[in-house]
Amino acid sequence: MSEGNEENSIAGQGGQVNEGNRENDRERIIIYDTTLRDGEQAPKFGMNAEGKLEIAHGLASMGVDIIEAGFPGSSPGDWEAVHQIAKEVHGPVISGLARCVEYDVKAAGEALKPAIDRGQGKIHVFVATSDIHVKDKLRKTREQVIEMAVKGVRMARSYTPRVEFSCEDFGRSDLDYIVEVAKAAIDAGADTINLPDTVGYMVVKEETERISYVIRGIGSVGKGIIFSVHNHDDLGLSTATTLAAIEAGARQVEVTMNGIGERAGNTSLEQVVAALKVRSDYYGRFYTGIDTRQIGPMSRLVSTITGQKPQLNSPIVGENAFGHAAGIHQDGMLKSQKAYEIMRPEDYGVERRFPLTARSGKNQVVQTLKERGISFDDADLEGIMERYKALADKRREVHDDDLVQAVRGDSQVPAYFSLKSFSAGKYPEGAFAEVEMNVDGKVKKSTKSGKGMIEASEKAINELTGLDLDISRYDARSATSGAGSKGIEIIVARNNGFTVMGQGMDDDTVTGAAKALVDASNRMKYVMDYAAAGRG
């Protein structure tokens, strides 16, 4: 299956989203990304306009066909963000959500105007169709809902020929009624009919049957219309139901990076795209325009902007997704990469890891020691492994300082540096840290500023130690679950390719972080001194 950028973008094919998806015998699945709308609306995933714009550029570069940039009628801030994206992000179609009410449709039409003027703006109108929503939420009759749908689509058509209509809660709606509503929306001018499982209720076979039923029921009225799905993950089935919908005739999938979205989230872009690629033997005729090598960087960008990382075991983008920890697995991977991987991490812009844990075997420990340039005595391997296992049992993950300790047999790392006094605070435009430390028996002081107090502390401590530690992971935990528990900061720092973990404990989390940095500095010096002596 050919992937990514060598394919023409659907959005670029004369602007015809609903005609450009058939190439020879292969069918392109339209990737409609709603990270910036459904993803952003979830608690703790809010983004500002600047962050949204950066993500939109990334999505465009990755090859998504349609970006749902927001819900312009929901707030002035969202209107602005959608407008800016419509102005500046070229390539994909830019879409905006609207209820079937004049205020929303007008807001969407105006916000999207720059994209509409280029033939690349889409309005996505929706109304709920399940009895639970129609009667209890909207307090309307089914007939009134059809009138709303028709009115909404017509209003949207007065701004753009690209109009998507969604039957909210399709998953729990009566199918014959859906056929009726969808036909009316198509008659009114919709080019896409979206059939969302709004509450993630569908199981796989049902999704296949329901999507097939609706497409069959709409019959010739649906000619040239794109059928779309938008599934939520309440039962953890959204990737499976989305793939089932493709087999049943859906040609557009609404997805988000990292699967973010309302409640348990939306179908994740990376999972659907990877499934179609990895299982091209099964899904052969379907392909997407996504450059999968950009998935990792995009996932990290969304994490940075939202401040929320995917779960460690999240497929494709989780830190452990290509991490091999068990001894048997690590040994298998050393012999054949295919032993425990169905895809290559480099094809998804992510890294393979062989984290050392108490489960790791001798082969992996030896391999890591060699890779790191940490010299050891072959004759002492049994002893090294014994000490390694004892240390690893106490650590969740083993780092280079633990390896050196196992090799040297030291019971603890020497304290080259110790914190004498520490204070930090915020300016209106940033922060500062003032650090006093014992370094090689002398008291030294440094004051630095930074974007935040931890960054300022990092700079000050690095200046005093002469090391160049870089915080790659920062975890704040609680020593106990009760109120008043001490904050523990754990910092993994890299320097010259080495990784160590420092720990600090204090009532104040910033002071705890500074203590953890000093601990990490001691560990890094210990590793570097040993490696330098070994190399010399």
Query: Where do contacts with ligand KIV occur on this chain (CB under 6 A)?
Result: 38, 97, 126, 166, 168, 194, 196, 198, 230, 232
Query: Which among Zn ion, ligand KIV, none contacts residue 126 (Cβ within 5 to 8 A by kind)?
Result: ligand KIV
Query: Which among ligand KIV, Zn ion, none contacts residue 166 (Cβ within 5 to 8 A by kind)?
Result: ligand KIV
Q: What does DSSP say about strands 163-168 and 121-128: parallel, antiparallel, or unpaired?
A: parallel
Identity of the residue, 124 or 277, whose beta carbon is nearer to Zn ion in the bound complex = 124
Identity of the residue, 196 or 323, whose beta carbon is nearer to ligand KIV in the bound complex = 196
User: How many chain residues are in contact with Zn ion, going by CB under 5 A?
Assistant: 1
33 binds Zn ion (CB under 5 A): no
Identity of the residue, 20 or 171, whose beta carbon is nearer to ligand KIV in the bound complex = 171
End-to-end, the C-alpha distance of the chain in Å comes to: 50
Residues with Cβ within 8 Å of 322's Cβ and at least 6 positions away in sequence, in order, are: 341, 345, 350, 351, 352, 353
Distance of alpha carbon 306 from the chain centroid: 10
Report the nearest approach of ligand KIV to the CB of residue 184 (Å). 18
Query: Which among Zn ion, ligand KIV, none contacts residue 402 (Cβ within 5 to 8 A by kind)?
Result: none
Q: In what order do the strands lie in the sheet with 442-450?
A: 417-427, 430-439, 442-450
Identity of the residue, 265 or 487, whose beta carbon is nearer to Zn ion in the bound complex = 265
Report the nearest approach of ligand KIV to the CB of residue 509 (Å). 37
Measured CA to CA, the distance from residue 509 to residue 495 in angstroms comes to 24
400 binds Zn ion (CB under 5 A): no
Q: Is 5 exposed, middle or buried (0-12, 13-18, 19+ CB in 10 A)?
A: middle
Report the nearest approach of ligand KIV to the CB of residue 436 (Å). 54
Report the nearest approach of ligand KIV to the CB of residue 404 (Å). 52
519 binds Zn ion (CB under 5 A): no
Identity of the residue, 266 or 405, whose beta carbon is nearer to ligand KIV in the bound complex = 266
Q: How many CA atoms lie less than 13 Å away from 357 in the CB half-sphere? A: 15
233 binds Zn ion (CB under 5 A): no
Among 33, 38, 169, 197, binds Zn ion (CB under 5 A): 38
Measured CA to CA, the distance from residue 281 to residue 86 in angstroms comes to 38
Using alpha carbons, select from 62, 61, 159, 66 the residue that is nearest to residue 107: 159
Report the nearest approach of Zn ion to the CB of residue 356 (Å). 41
Report the nearest approach of ligand KIV to the CB of residue 397 (Å). 38
CA 207, 213, 218, 223 dihedral sign is: positive
- Reading phi first (left if > 0) and then psi (alpha if -120 to 50, else beta), residue 364 is in alpha
40 binds Zn ion (CB under 5 A): no
Report the nearest approach of ligand KIV to the CB of residue 373 (Å). 52
234 binds Zn ion (CB under 5 A): no
Measured CA to CA, the distance from residue 311 to residue 321 in angstroms comes to 10
Count of Cβ atoms closer than 10 Å to residue 506 Cβ: 17
Q: Note the residues at the interface with Zn ion (CB under 5 A).
A: 38
